[in-house]
Structure 1
Amino acid sequence: MVLTQPRPGCGRALEPVVAECVAAGADAIQLRDKTADSRALVATVARLRAITEPAGAVLIVNDRLDVALAAGADGVHLGPDDLPLAAARDIAPPPFLIGYSADDPDDARRAAADGADYLGVGAVFGTRSKPGLADEAIGPGQVRAVREASRLPCLGIGGITPGNAASVFATGAGVAVLSAVMAAPDPSTVVQQLLRSAR
């Protein structure tokens, strides 16, 4: 899963960058934009959906269940400070996907019981994409523990690069990546490198 930022580091617009990532093999995109208003987010989802849907890639919206539903995204990713997971599941029945952030096995089991479809687990190696997590590295072993406790598909997130992704894939989880892709001069090459490390 590639998480987006409004202005990719390569200097090109978001839409062509997402198209290149999907063409390179990314099978999920998460729209992450903490500053745009609802109208702008809905418009962005529509543009990205025109890229992801024909390619068979999943489009997730970060935090905003209302935007995800209104714009026809495939799902939403929620955190502990967002709408409660069980309430979101009541509003958006399957096949709409609901992801949840959890780095603790007990939280993971609760999320599974409340209807999560997958979990984002991290920060695996620490991250500067989210305030306060630069020194919070849970490590691949905790990703495995969360995956085994929840019995849900899991994506390790936080500080993941082509150089360390293999250790996350080895836990049976996938990876979700923001900075390594969005800050790269050639995002599609990074996606290809990440996928090669899964083999």
Structure 2
Amino acid sequence: MKELKLYLVTGRYEFSDEMFLKIVEEACQNGVTMVQLREKDTTTRHFYQLAVEVKQITDRYDIPLIINDRIDICLAMDADGVHIGDDEMPIKVVRSLIGPEKILGVSTKTTERAREAKKEGADYLGVGAIFPTKTKQNPQRTSVETLKTIIEEVELPVVAIGGIKEDNMETFKNTGIDGVAVVSDIMLAENVAHKVQSLKKSVEIVLEESK
């Protein structure tokens, strides 16, 4: 999935909606290939309204919009897909609810979970957290060795997740990943356009050397 190359997972960081949407648009303008809208501390109504506005942006740039966890939001505003973690509904239930056409991403830390995800209908895997991250409290880390094993043994596209920044991108050389998911390095960048362009070049080098 070429859409996984530079995968933006949004973070709120107390931004106003206006600033948040500005950052998302700048990221889409400058090279992110997929956007996952992650909202943990807001109302359902606000999440829905924000998702509608984000989709207007991603549609302009022909970029898939994935909703984190919330199947109801995904279906209500017709996002391109949903991404679920370990503590959500069973994968096969999610697939039955969203249907065969929408994208289903599944977070995994282990080979066993990756195999289960493939069997039950996932389209791609988010593997991690590879590095420490502030987006989740005390996340279980996933080694690069486990990442490589999942890629070798489970025939699904894989995006590496968790604390990924431009300065640790070389970690993924020769791993066989399909892309990287980035949160703070984009959302908190002083110059979003420049950061996304730079990240895109870095990940393209990694992917080329992984062939």
TM-score higher than 0.5 here?
yes
Using the alignment, how far apart are the partners of 2:19 and 2:59 within structure 1?
Answer: 19
One of 123, 134, 151 as aligned partner of 2:155: 151
Q: What is the match of residue 161 of structure 1? A: 165
What is the deviation of 1:187? Answer: 2.3
Gaps of 5+ in 1: none
> Where do 5+ consecutive residues of structure 2 fail to align?
1-6, 206-211
Identity across the alignment (%): 34
RMSD of the alignment, in Å? Answer: 1.9
The match for 1:109 among 103, 109, 115 is: 115
1:51 and 2:57 matched? yes
Q: Which residue matches 1:192?
A: 197
Is the CA contact 1:157–1:177 (under 8 Å) kept in the aligned structure 2? Answer: yes
Contact 1:76 1:98 in 2 (8 A): yes
| 8 Å contact kept, 2:31–2:200 | yes
- State the Cα distance separating 1:190 from its structure 2 match: 2.1
In 1: Cα distance, 2:157 partner to 2:123 partner:
7
Determine the structure 1 residue equivalent to 2:188.
Answer: 183
Q: Which has the higher helix share?
A: 2
Alignment of 1:62 onto 2:68: yes
CA contact (8 A) 1:28 1:59 kept: yes
TM-score in terms of structure 1 length: 0.92
1:9·1:182 contact (CA, 8 Å) conserved in 2? no
Cα gap change, 1:190 to 1:74, in 2 (>3 Å): same
* Distance (whole Å) between structure 2 residues aligned to residue 123 and residue 6 of structure 1: 19
1:48 Cα shift? Answer: 0.7
Count residues in correspondence: 197
Q: TM-score, normalised by structure 2?
A: 0.87
